[in-house]
């Protein structure tokens, strides 16, 4: 084992060495019990759907005017289960986490696959969503001339995955493909044999035992700052090598970092295990970065350490591994992360919200400065940005000792990386790098208040706006606009007051509206549907009231709407398959209202879901031909719907404008040569008490 240097953590004084020796076993056992309980209660890993609709109602206007009510209770969350060191990192949705599969065949007592020796199965090392891992002891040689006794047999790790498991639906486990590329590279265990025996797919690898894992060590010893810095340095070099092969790990956490067996040349060598969630960030045929996407119903990783982007269902890239590593390092230093302890079905949502609201300064307030600089760097990386690994390693040079031979962790991989890029060793502060332009920090944990307007390029038209309108003043503004040939195109709400845009380019020939104390008055909407009116704009207020505008002259053929206590992505995804597209959204307090229509004029549609204005995601969607067509938000989350029109407009320009107050100086664009038409979407954003959360309303 490496020499583990005792030292202060969270401001504690160095313990007496004798007392540490006398009490280590008792304290280690107690901390192991506490650690196991904390992991079981707090950690989750896997591939999960997220649809937190605890109470939801869908109202559908059917062809022919019939009503169809579906009271859905689609629950969204992240499965609660502990991930062991050799877990595949994914979970079958129809199995209870951690439960044994009674229908599966028993694990064989002995294993021999392809041309492998015979291995006797001994103790169990761990269990994951798809497989189980055992210690295997070699009891026979590969040929008669190579005799070996049981007492001197070589131990290996043997992973069993049942042929009927979710990970083996299409043949051998996906993880095998990853090991074909990554097995044996720097920091990744070697695969000796793999094949099928009976009902199981079997993989034989180096045995990097959990007893020598970083996570287990921290519950027995006080982990010094130098040791954590060495782990940081070597972990970055391992991830760099893995990324250079085109893969991201997808589940970086303390439990997946193991050391070699004690008394061997590898006892100070760090290994990263469990490739079950590894994905490609680079297309192997073109060498190009994979395309950006977001699926809010998909989560991959472990809740405690996953990046914010993983929580939000964004395509995995190199930045996500580094962000998970940053959380891992802070956990090793402090023994706890600010978002631990959340429970319940919406745990993943609450953890993600807390991560977004925690600035690097707050997260690393008890950590040495290099750790804060590392967190600041990784959380601000772009989706396809190549991390500067050597620069990240250099941050920790001031903490580790100058002689690599006496460091508690072997850092040879990092030394080679630094040498390869020709980077000078020495302490390097992120903001002092003259070769790079300073970045705009995207996760500050700071509150803000905004109005956000969306403009499309189109022909000039007559347009009128009203804002800070009380309930009793709405009628006179709308009636006056109707007399002048204007119809409502946008509505929004802020502080229980209304804002509306009226213009002459809507194409409507009749319009009705209702201001209701209820959020989306079902009976009134059904009545207007019967008269061939369709919802064309809606807004909700903090007090739960709503303003619904319905028009004739739209292109819609059928409509359906849903009211939910959380963003109903699963329902939206189902309706997409039925030919519906989101045409309006609003919120009232914490409730969401989403309207979807047939014949909406779109050929494709995507959702950007975030806790802040997702500038990077929106720009990437713009680059691929999408345009913002609907948006809404609660105090906690913002949802943006972007669509591809069936008929390509002559001018595809779209701009967003963010202002601290209603944009009265920017609403009218009488042929200024930039945006010819006028405002087509408007909503207000109020970042609440907790930093990084917001509420705003939208009109389509």
Question: Where in the sequence numbering do the catalytic residues fall?
Answer: 251
Residue 488: left (phi > 0), alpha (psi -120 to 50), or beta? beta
Mapped onto helix, strand or coil, the DSSP state of residue 655 is strand
Name the strand (E) or helix (H) holding 435: none
Residue 436: left (phi > 0), alpha (psi -120 to 50), or beta? beta
Name the strand (E) or helix (H) holding 119: strand 119-127
Structural contact between residues 263 and 232, judged by C-beta atoms closer than 8 angstroms? no
CB atoms within 10 A of CB 245: 15
Nearest one of 55, 42, 649, 594 to 347, comparing CA atoms? 42
Give CA–CA dist 487/512, Å, rounded: 10
**Where do runs of H (alpha helix) occur along 285-384?**
308-311, 318-334, 347-357, 360-363, 369-379
- What 3 state SS string does 51-92 have? CCCCCEEEEEECCCCCEEEEEECCCCCCCCCCCCCCCCCCCC
Structural contact between residues 537 and 561, judged by C-beta atoms closer than 8 angstroms? no
Q: Is the dihedral of CA 351, 78, 380, 417 positive or negative?
A: positive
Which residue bears the tokens 């995507």? 606
Structural contact between residues 6 and 15, judged by C-beta atoms closer than 8 angstroms? yes
Strand partners, 259: 270
Name the strand (E) or helix (H) holding 27: helix 17-42
Q: Cα–Cα distances in Å, from 233 out to 227, 237, 238?
A: 10, 7, 9
Residue 286: left (phi > 0), alpha (psi -120 to 50), or beta? alpha
Gyration radius of the chain over CA positions: 29
Token reading at 525: 């909407």
Give CA–CA dist 533/552, Å, rounded: 5
Token reading at 450: 């905004």
Give CA–CA dist 394/390, Å, rounded: 6
The pairing of strands 602-610 and 638-645 is antiparallel
Strand partners, 209: none
């Amino acid at each position: 084992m490496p020499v583990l240097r005792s030292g202060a953590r969270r401001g504690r004084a160095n313990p007496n060495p004798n007392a540490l020796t006398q009490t280590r076993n008792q304290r280690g056992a107690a901390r192991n019990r506490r650690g196991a309980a904390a992991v079981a209660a707090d950690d989750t890993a896997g591939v999960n759907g997220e649809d937190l609709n605890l109470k939801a109602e869908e109202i559908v206007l059917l062809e022919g005017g019939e009503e169809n009510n579906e009271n859905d209770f689609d629950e969204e969350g992240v499965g609660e289960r502990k991930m062991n060191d050799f877990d595949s990192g994914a979970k079958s949705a129809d199995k209870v986490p951690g439960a044994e599969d009674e229908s599966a065949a028993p694990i064989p007592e002995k294993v021999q696959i392809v041309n492998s020796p015979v291995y006797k199965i001994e103790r169990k090392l761990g269990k994951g969503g798809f497989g189980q891992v055992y210690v295997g002891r070699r009891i026979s040689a590969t040929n008669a001339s190579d005799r070996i006794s049981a007492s001197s047999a070589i131990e290996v790790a043997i992973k069993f995955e049942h042929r009927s498991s979710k990970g083996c639906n299409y043949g051998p486990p996906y993880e095998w493909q990853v090991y074909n590329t990554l097995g044996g590279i720097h920091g990744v265990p070697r695969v000796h044999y793999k094949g099928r025996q009976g009902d199981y797919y079997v993989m034989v690898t180096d045995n990097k035992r959990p007893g020598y894992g970083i996570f287990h060590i921290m519950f027995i010893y006080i982990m010094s700052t130098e040791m954590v810095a060495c782990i940081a340095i070597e972990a970055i070099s391992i991830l760099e090598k893995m990324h250079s092969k085109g893969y991201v790990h997808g589940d970086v956490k303390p439990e997946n970092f193991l050391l070699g067996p004690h008394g061997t040349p590898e006892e100070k060598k760090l290994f990263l295990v469990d490739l079950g969630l590894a994905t490609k960030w680079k297309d192997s045929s073109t060498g190009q970065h994979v395309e950006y996407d977001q699926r809010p119903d998909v989560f991959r990783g472990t809740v405690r350490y996953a990046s914010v982007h993983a929580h939000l269902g964004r395509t995995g890239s190199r930045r996500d591994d580094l962000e998970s590593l940053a959380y891992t390092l802070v956990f090793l230093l402090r023994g706890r992360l600010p978002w631990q302890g959340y429970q319940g079905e919406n745990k993943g949502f609450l953890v993600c919200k807390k991560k977004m609201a925690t600035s690097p300064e707050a997260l690393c307030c008890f950590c040495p400065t290099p750790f804060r600089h590392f967190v600041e760097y990784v959380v601000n990386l772009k989706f396809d940005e190549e991390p500067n690994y050597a620069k990240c390693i250099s941050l920790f040079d001031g903490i580790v000792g100058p002689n690599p031979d006496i460091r508690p962790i072997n850092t040879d991989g990092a030394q080679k990386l630094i040498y390869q890029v020709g980077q000078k060793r020495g302490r390097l502060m992120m903001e002092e790098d003259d070769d790079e332009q300073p970045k705009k920090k995207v996760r500050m944990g700071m509150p803000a208040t905004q109005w956000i307007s969306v403009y499309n390029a189109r022909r000039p038209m007559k347009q009128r706006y009203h804002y800070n309108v009380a309930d009793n003043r709405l009628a006179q503004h709308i009636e006056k606009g109707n007399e002048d040939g204007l119809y409502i195109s946008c509505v929004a709400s802020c502080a229980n007051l209304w804002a509306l845009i009226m213009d002459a380019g809507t194409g409507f020939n009749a319009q009705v509206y209702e201001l209701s104390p209820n959020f989306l008055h079902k009976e009134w909407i059904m009545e207007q549907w019967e008269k061939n009116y369709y919802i064309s704009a809606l807004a909700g207020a903090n007090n739960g009231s709503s303003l619904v505008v319905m028009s004739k002259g739209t292109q819609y053929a059928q409509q359906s709407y849903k009211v939910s206590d959380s963003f109903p992505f699963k329902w939206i995804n189902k309706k997409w398959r039925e030919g519906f597209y989101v045409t309006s959204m609003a919120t009232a307090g914490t409730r969401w209202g989403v309207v979807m229509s047939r014949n909406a004029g779109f050929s494709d549609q995507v959702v950007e879901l975030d806790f802040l204005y997702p500038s990077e995601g929106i720009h990437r969607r713009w680059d691929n031909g999408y345009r913002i067509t609907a948006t809404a938000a609660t105090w906690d989350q913002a949802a943006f719907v972007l669509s591809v029109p069936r008929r390509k407009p002559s001018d595809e320009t779209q701009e967003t404008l963010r202002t601290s107050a209603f944009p009265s100086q920017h609403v009218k664009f009488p042929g200024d040569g930039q945006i010819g038409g006028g405002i087509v979407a408007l909503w207000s954003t109020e970042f609440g008490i907790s930093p990084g959360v917001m509420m705003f309303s939208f009109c389509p």
